[in-house]
Structure 1
Amino acid sequence: MKGKNKNNNDKKARKPVVNEDSLYTEALESSESKPTEDFMEAPIESSKKSVTLNELAEIDPELLTGRSGEIVKAKKLPALPDNKNSNKLKEPDIPVIPTEINLDRNEDALEKEKFKRNAGIAFVVLGIILVTVIAAATFALDTGLDTSFISPLKVHGRDISSAEFSFLYHYELLSEGVDLFAADTEEKLSSPYLDDDSFSTYRDYFRYVTAQDFQKMEILYDDATSQGYQIEKAHYERANIYINWLKSRADELGVPLDTYIKGVFGSQVDEQCIINTLAKKYFTEDYADGEKLIQLSATDAQAEEAYNQSRNIYDLVSYKFIRMTYEQRTQAFKDTANAHAQQIISDMNGDPSKFEACAKPFFSGVYANTLSQKDSTLIPNCRYDDISHEEFREWLFDESRKEGDATVIPDEDGFPIILVFVSRVRQSEKLRNCYIIAANVLSEDMAPDNAATQALAQEIYDYIEDADNCNEVENRYNDYILAGQLSVLHDSQIYQNKYNKALADWIFADERQLGDKTLIEVEGTFYVIYFISESPNPEWYDMVNSFLRMNNLQQFIQSKAEEYSYEFNIDGLNQIKDVP
C-alpha cells in the first residue's frame, strides 16, 4: 500500500483519452545518391419494496456484493435520469455541520497487493457482514441500548462529531480502494505502515489523513466566511444529487437509504450529515479554487523568476528535420550520407530558411518536389514533452541554442539525421477554460454501443445549461463513471493540439463565448463540451501563476496549521469502526 502525497491537492476529474499521433516519414537515398523516400518527424498531434434488516439476512450474498463464482457480463446500467429538476431536493433546514471529504483526489493508489481497488468501491453494500452489523446496531437503538458517541477529534476548539469523522474516515478508505467488507480488511489496517515511521499502522495513517482534511476544511471555511462568502443553494443541490445516487444504489439492493448509509459509513451517519458535509466541502473547494487563488496570484516579479528557473516548461521550439539514408547499409554508404549531411549544413550557412533548397540536390522524385517548398520540413511550436527522442530534445532546448544552429545525430544504423534550430519562444497563446464530458457506452457483451452512447451524450447535453450543471454530472451519472463509460473533466488550461483537432477547432473558434456548448463525435466517443472562458493572459504566465498560486495556497494552509491545531480523543476513535 502506498500512502497519499498530501502535497497534491489539485482537483482532477477523469480525463478523456486523446491520442496524439506523430508523422514520421523516412528519406532514403538510392545508390546513385538520390533518395527514394524521405524522413521527417512532426509531433501531431426504478421503486422496490423496502425490506427489513431481518429480511436482508435472507438475501443472496452475491446480490449484495455484486459478485459471482461465474464469469458474468457487464452490469446493465440504469435508465437515464428524468429531467434536470427531478433530482434536485430542497435545501436542508438544519444548520450546516462543517466537515470535509475529498472526492476528487488524483493521488497515488495503495499498492495492489495491499488494498485491491474494487470497480464498485464507492459504496457497494457488501454481504451478510453488513446486514449483521446493521441489524445489531438497529436492535441496540430500538431497545434503548444506544451508547453515546464521543467526539474523536477537536480542531481549533471545535469538537468534530463522531458522525462527521466516521463519514469522512470511511470515505477516505473507499477513495483509496479499501474493500471495507473484505475478510482481512481490519487485519490490513492494523498492519505496519510502510511509507512513514510516524504511523504505526495504516489505520493510524488514515486517521491522520482524516484529521488533516478537517483542519484544512476549518481553515478555508473560516477564511471564506470572514470575507462574506457563504454556502449557497447550488452547493446543497449538488450534495442532494449525490444523495440521490446513493439512493439509487440502495434501491437496487431493496434496502432503505438510511440502512445503506449506515452500512457503508457507520451507524452514526445519516443522510443529513452527508448533505451538510458535502455542501460545505463543495463550498470550500470552490473558494479554494476560485477567489482564494486569485488573492494568492503571483506578482509579475515572481512570475518572471519562476519562468527563468524552468524555461523548458514554458517555451516552444521550432526546428527543421530530415534524415538521409540508403537502402544499402554498408559503411561506405553511411559515410556518403554523412558527407552529404555536412555539405547541406555548410551550404545553409546558418540560415534555416535555406535548408530545403540546400538539401534538395541530394534527393529525387516526390521528395525533391517537397523540398522545393519553403519550410516544408519545419516542425513548429513543439513543447518539451512533445519530443520523445531524448537527444533531440536536449539539443533543441539547450539554452545556448540560437537560430541557424545545426547538428547531425546518427540513427540506429549510423545514417545522419539533420536537425536545424529555428526559434524558441514563450508559450503565448491564451488558454481556454471548458468542461469536457466524454461518453463511450458498452453493451452487455462489452462491445461499443453507439446508439446508447449518443443517447447518453444527448441527455447530458440537454441537461447542461450552466457550469453548475456540469459539476452535477459526475454525481448524477455516477454509475456510468464507475463503469468507466463516462468521464468529466474541467480543464482551465487548454492549449491548441491538447485534444483532438475536432475538439480544438470548436474550442478555439474566434466566436466562442461563455455558455456555448456542443456535441461532437470522434471515432465512437461522444464529447459534450461547455465553454467557460478565454484567459486574458498568455499561456506561460497562466501556467507559472497556477503553479505559484498552488504553492501559495499550501503555504497559507501551513501558516494556519498551528492556530488550527487538532487533537484526537482515543475513546472517540475507538468508536469508529473500520467495518461499520
Structure 2
Amino acid sequence: MSEPKTDSKWHSEQARAERKARLNSLKDKNGGKKPIKTSNPVVRIILVVILVVAILMTGGWYALNSGLPQQTLSALSINGEAVKVAEMNYYFYMTASNYGVDMTDPATAEATLSMPSGVEEFETYKDMLVDSAAQMVRENYMLAAEAQKAGLALDDSDLQKITDFYDTLQQQADASQLTLTNFMAQYFGKGATTESLRPAFERLLLAQKFAAQQQESFEFGDAELKAYYDEHRDEYDKVSYRAFTFTAEVAEDASDADKEKAKADARAKADAMATLVTDEASFKAQAIANAAEDQKDAYTSNDASLMADTRYYSISSLTQSAWLYDETRKAGDMTVVDDTNAASSTVLYFVSRSIDDQPRVDVRHILIMADETTATEEEIAAAKAKADDILAQYKSGAQTEDAFAELAKANSEDGNAADGGIYTDIYPGQMVDAFNNWIFDPARKTGDTDVVQTNYGFHVMYFVRPAGVEWEINVRSVLADEAYRTYLTDLKTAYPYELNDLGLRFVP
C-alpha cells in the first residue's frame, strides 16, 4: 500500500489559500467589491479611448442605418434653399427605376451604377442619374415656388392623394412582411419615412398642379395652328387605301437561287393582280380571288383589304408610307411595293387623304356602380335612385360645372372622382355605347345633364364643351409643350442650384 501524496495535498491547499487572498484583495473594508482601477495613467487613457470609440461606433452604426444623415444633411441647394438627402434619394430611386436599375437589389444596383455612363459629361452611370434626379428636384422646387407666388395651393383632394398613397404603401409593406419605414427605405432610400417625405410629396403635387395650369394658359390662334399643320401634314393627316400582299413561299433550307425565284414569283403575282384592278371594287374582288382559302371570308365579309383612316406612324413599311403620303398622290393611284426583308410584294391602291377632323369633347360624370351582369334587380334599382337623387341635388343648387364637380368628388365611384369626374378630349368610340351616344349627340350643348345607364352602372352626366377636332388638339398640344419647355428654360435662370458633396455621399 502506497503512502498518501502529501505534496499534492499541500499544493492544493496552498492554491486555495492564494485564491482566497486574491478575492479578499478585491473587497473593500465593508466586504463589497472594489472598483477596478490602474495606477498607470496611460493605461487609464487608453481604456477611456477604447470605450468612447466603442460607443461612437455603435451609435454611428445606428445613425447610418436609421437614415439620420439622409434626413439631416442636404444633397443640394436650389436658389439658396437646402434639399435634404432623403428627398434627393426619392428622386434618385425613381430615376434609376426609369432607367431599369433595380435599387432593391443592392449588389446588382451597385455594379450597374459604377459602370461607365457612355455620356461624355458623366463618368459613371450613377453620376448621370444623380444629375437627372437633381434636375427633377430643381424643376419641382421652382414650379412649387412659382405656384406659391401665384397664390396656388393644394386643396383637400390633393392632400388626400398623399394619404391614399401612404395607405397603398402600407398595404404593400404588409404584403412584404416589412414595417412601413423599412419598406420605404428599400424602395425610396434610407431616411425615407412618411414624415420626412411628406413635404417633398406636397411640393411635387403643387408643382404638377401649377405645371398643368401653366400649360393650359398658352393660347394659339387659328392661323398659328394652321401654319404648324401645313408644315407637318404627314403627322396629322390620315389616308385610306387598299393593300394585298403576296408572300414568297420557300422552305427554310432552300438555296439562294430558290429563294430568289420565290420572290420573283410573288412579284409576278402582284403585277398580274395590278393589271386587273381598275377601281376599288375590282381590287376587292382580286383580293378575294387571291386570298388563301382560310382567309377568303376575312376579305369577303370584313373587307380586309381596306385600310381606312390610317396614320403615317401606323404603317409598318417605310416604303409604303412614303408612297401613300407623297404630296402628288391622288385617288386611283396604284403601285407594287417589294419588301425584301419579308420576301413579299404588296399591291397598293390609293383611295384618299384627309385632315383628321374627328371631334373631341370634354365631359364630367358621376358613376354609381351596378354591374348589369352581377347586380341584383334591387341593387340596380337602388343605384338608379341614387343617381336620380344626385341629379336632383345638382338641379336644386347652383347648377354650375364647379358644383357638379363637388358632387362628383363626394359621390362618384369612378377612379377620377377626386378630379371632379372629368374626362377630356374624348373621341368617338372611346367610351361604351350609351355613354358615347349621349356625349356625341349632335344636339348636345354645354351644361346638359342626364342619367345614362351602361354595363358599369348609372352615370350622372354633365356635358362640359366641344374640345375641338383631332388635328387642332394635337397641334395645340405640341405648341403648348414647346412653349412650356421655353418657359422652363427661362425660369431656370432664376433658380440656380449647387450640389453638396458631403450630402451626395449618402445618395446611393
- Range class of TM-score, shorter chain: 0.5 to 0.7
Distance 1:238 1:388, change over 3 A: same
Residue 225 of structure 2: aligned partner = 303
Distance 1:262 1:206, change over 3 A: same
Contact 1:232 1:283 in 2 (8 A): no
Matched, 1:547 2:478: yes
Residue 394 of structure 1: aligned partner = 322
Q: 2:113 aligns with which of 161, 176, 189?
A: 189
Q: 1:563 aligns with which of 482, 487, 494?
A: 494
- What SS class does the counterpart of residue 352 from structure 2 fall into? strand
Contact 2:147 2:206 in 1 (8 A): no
Q: Which structure has the larger Rg over C-alpha atoms?
A: 2
Q: 1:428 aligns with which of 340, 352, 357?
A: 357
**Cα displacement (A) at 1:362:** 12
**Cα displacement (A) at 1:178:** 2.4
Distance 1:533 1:173, change over 3 A: farther
- What SS class does the counterpart of residue 121 from structure 2 fall into? coil
CA deviation vs aligned residue, 1:27-73 (integer Å, no higher than 9, x gap): xxxxxxxxxxxxxxxxxxxxxxxxxxxxxxxxxxxxxxxxxxxxxxx
Q: 2:437 aligns with which of 506, 509, 514?
A: 509
Structure 2, unaligned runs of 5 or more: 1-57, 250-261, 365-372, 375-410, 441-447
CA deviation vs aligned residue, 1:269-290 (integer Å, no higher than 9, x gap): 33123233223212322332x3
Counterparts of 2:480 and 2:125 in 1: how far apart (Å)?
32
Contact 1:151 1:161 in 2 (8 A): yes
Counterparts of 1:140 and 1:409 in 2: how far apart (Å)?
69
Residue 54 of structure 2: aligned partner = none
Q: How does 1:168-567 map to 2 (within 5 A)?
A: 168-176=91-99, 177-194=101-118, 196-252=119-175, 254-262=177-185, 264-288=187-211, 290-321=212-243, 338=271, 341-342=274-275, 344-345=277-278, 355-356=280-281, 379-409=307-337, 418-431=347-360, 464-465=413-414, 467-469=416-418, 495=427, 505=433, 508-511=436-439, 535-567=466-498
Same amino acid, percent of matched pairs: 21
Distance 1:382 1:414, change over 3 A: same
**Cα displacement (A) at 1:159:** 1.4
Matched, 1:166 2:166: no
**Cα displacement (A) at 1:237:** 0.7
- What SS class does the counterpart of residue 231 from structure 1 fall into? coil
- Pick 1 or 2: higher relative contact order, CA cutoff 8 A, min separation 6: 1
CA deviation vs aligned residue, 1:240-260 (integer Å, no higher than 9, x gap): 111112222333455543344
Counterparts of 2:219 and 2:86 in 1: how far apart (Å)?
37
Counterparts of 1:573 and 1:365 in 2: how far apart (Å)?
67
Q: Give the aligned residue type for 1:317.
A: V
Q: Give the aligned residue type for 2:229.
A: Y
Counterparts of 2:267 and 2:129 in 1: how far apart (Å)?
61
Residue 153 of structure 1: aligned partner = 76
**Cα displacement (A) at 1:387:** 3.1
Range that drifts further, 548-557 or 164-173:
164-173
Counterparts of 1:227 and 1:548 in 2: how far apart (Å)?
23
Contact 2:72 2:85 in 1 (8 A): yes
**Cα displacement (A) at 1:399:** 0.9
Distance 1:162 1:311, change over 3 A: same
Q: Give the aligned residue type for 1:295.
A: S
Contact 1:238 1:279 in 2 (8 A): no
Counterparts of 2:266 and 2:179 in 1: how far apart (Å)?
79
Counterparts of 1:399 and 1:165 in 2: how far apart (Å)?
51
Distance 1:212 1:504, change over 3 A: same
Residue 445 of structure 2: aligned partner = none
Contact 1:170 1:265 in 2 (8 A): yes
Counterparts of 1:330 and 1:210 in 2: how far apart (Å)?
52
- What SS class does the counterpart of residue 275 from structure 1 fall into? helix
Distance 1:415 1:386, change over 3 A: closer
Structure 1, unaligned runs of 5 or more: 1-134, 346-351, 436-449, 452-461, 473-489, 521-527
CA deviation vs aligned residue, 1:328-361 (integer Å, no higher than 9, x gap): x99999879846743644xxxxxx5xx4279879
- What SS class does the counterpart of residue 219 from structure 1 fall into? helix
Counterparts of 2:190 and 2:479 in 1: how far apart (Å)?
43
Range that drifts further, 379-388 or 234-243:
379-388
Distance 1:209 1:333, change over 3 A: closer
Counterparts of 1:223 and 1:376 in 2: how far apart (Å)?
54
Residue 82 of structure 1: aligned partner = none
Distance 1:262 1:399, change over 3 A: same
Distance 1:364 1:540, change over 3 A: closer
Q: Give the aligned residue type for 2:192.
A: V
CA deviation vs aligned residue, 1:409-430 (integer Å, no higher than 9, x gap): 5799999865432321110012
Counterparts of 2:168 and 2:238 in 1: how far apart (Å)?
45
Distance 1:160 1:379, change over 3 A: closer
- What SS class does the counterpart of residue 195 from structure 2 fall into? helix
Give the alignment's TM-score, normalised by structure 1. Answer: 0.52
Give the alignment's TM-score, normalised by structure 2. Answer: 0.59
Counterparts of 2:70 and 2:286 in 1: how far apart (Å)?
91
Range that drifts further, 557-566 or 164-173:
164-173
Q: Give the aligned residue type for 2:214.
A: K
Counterparts of 1:324 and 1:422 in 2: how far apart (Å)?
20
Distance 1:403 1:531, change over 3 A: farther
Larger helix fraction of residues: 2
